[in-house]
Amino acid sequence: MWYKLYLLTGIVLLAASLYKLRQSIDFIGKSKLASGVVTSLDESDGTYAPVFTIMTKEHGELIYHHAAYTGPSAWDVGEEATFLYDPADLRSVTMMEYFWLFSWAINLMAVAIPLIITGAGYLLFSRLIGKEDNRLSKKQGIFFIF
Amino acid sequence: MIIYLIFIIVGGLLLAFASAKLMNRLAFLRHGERAMGTFIEFVEQKDDDGTFYFPVFNIPYRRKEIITYKHWIGSTNTRWQTGDTALFIFEPGKPETIKPLNYRDILGGALLLLSVAVDLLVIGGGYFLFNGYFGM
């Protein structure tokens, strides 16, 4: 029962991941490149996240607060990075790096894969051991889960 | 970045290891001999988090022999009762290979490794696909 739920949840998350992947690819397709410079560091409990000022040709300066806080700071004021933004939505600024462009797709996929494998593995196991023994093993499975 | 290369290498090694283990376990499942064991007692082990109880089973083997098996996971509660039965599986002629016949004990470890391997390969592989397409 639980493992069937794993499989189902995994498939839903996989679908969500592919949807997000598609969105990210669309975003890359319609976005423009711009370079940004670290102008200050945000501090929170001894960890730091860079704040970038991004110069764009048509839309002036954009401010981007990076989501990753690290201590000590991974960025120094003055360092540069490349960004992508959708001209129709200036809040869509994203650092042009694999992890930041595809973060939703990656995280959803990372959860979906183990759920699908353990869920599908259970179905395989049940078929291999046969109906009668499966009933018995299910009963004791409850005892063996702590 | 170097981290994604490490993902691919570690993922590949884990995949090889997990597949071998999985094939092994599937063959075990197909050819193993099944036997019904009876719960005998709990072995107590105390540590910092409290007392853990490990169930011990007796499984009849051949005509007069008995295999005694202690499960590797202990629990804080004593859910098994005297007379409870559980299904076991072992390679014919090799009683030392005995394991409880349930999903977690037979395939759990191999599939956990496989999950981690596929995760690493997909995420690491995605990075190199992305690099290939967008030439970063």
Q: Is B103–A102 a contact, with Cβ atoms under 8 angstroms apart?
A: no
- The pLDDT mean for chain B works out to 90
Task: Supply the ipTM of this predicted assembly.
Answer: 0.84
Q: Is B103–A28 a contact, with Cβ atoms under 8 angstroms apart?
A: no
Task: Write out pLDDT tens, residues A58-116.
Answer: 888 999 999 999 988 899 999 999 999 999 988 899 999 999 999 999 999 999 999 99
Instruction: Give the separation between CA B90 and CA B35, rounded to whole angstroms.
Output: 8
HSE-CB for B106 with a 13 A CA cutoff: 31
Give the pLDDT confidence score for residue A146 in this predicted structure.
42
Grade residue A134 by pLDDT with cuts at 50, 70 and 90.
confident
- The pLDDT mean for chain A works out to 90
pTM for the full predicted model:
0.85
Q: Is B107–A96 a contact, with Cβ atoms under 8 angstroms apart?
A: no
Domain boundaries, chain A: 1-30+98-146, 32-86
Contact between B87 and B74 under an 8 Å Cβ cutoff? The reply is no
Instruction: Give the separation between CA B49 and CA A99, rounded to whole angstroms.
Output: 39
Search chain B and give the residue with CA nearest A134: B102
Whether the pLDDT of residue B128 is over 90: the answer is yes
Q: Is B115–A102 a contact, with Cβ atoms under 8 angstroms apart?
A: no
Whether the pLDDT of residue B44 is over 50: the answer is yes
CB atoms within 10 A of CB A97: 17
Q: How far is A122 from chain B (nearest CA, A)?
A: 7
Instruction: List B36's β-bridge partners, or say none.
Output: B87
Search chain B and give the residue with CA nearest A104: B123
Give me the residue from A102, A118, A121 closest to B126, CB to CB.
Answer: A102
* Better pLDDT: B87 or A141: B87
Best CA proximity match to A125, nearest among B57, B68, B99: B99
Task: Write out pLDDT tens, residues B54-107.
Answer: 889 999 988 888 899 988 888 787 788 888 888 999 999 888 999 998 888 899
Instruction: Give the separation between CA B20 and CA B108, rounded to whole angstroms.
Output: 14
CATH code linked to domain A32-86: 2.40.50
Give the pLDDT confidence score for residue B134 in this predicted structure.
74
For residue A43, the Cα-to-chain-centroid distance in whole angstroms is: 24
Q: Is B26–A128 a contact, with Cβ atoms under 8 angstroms apart?
A: yes
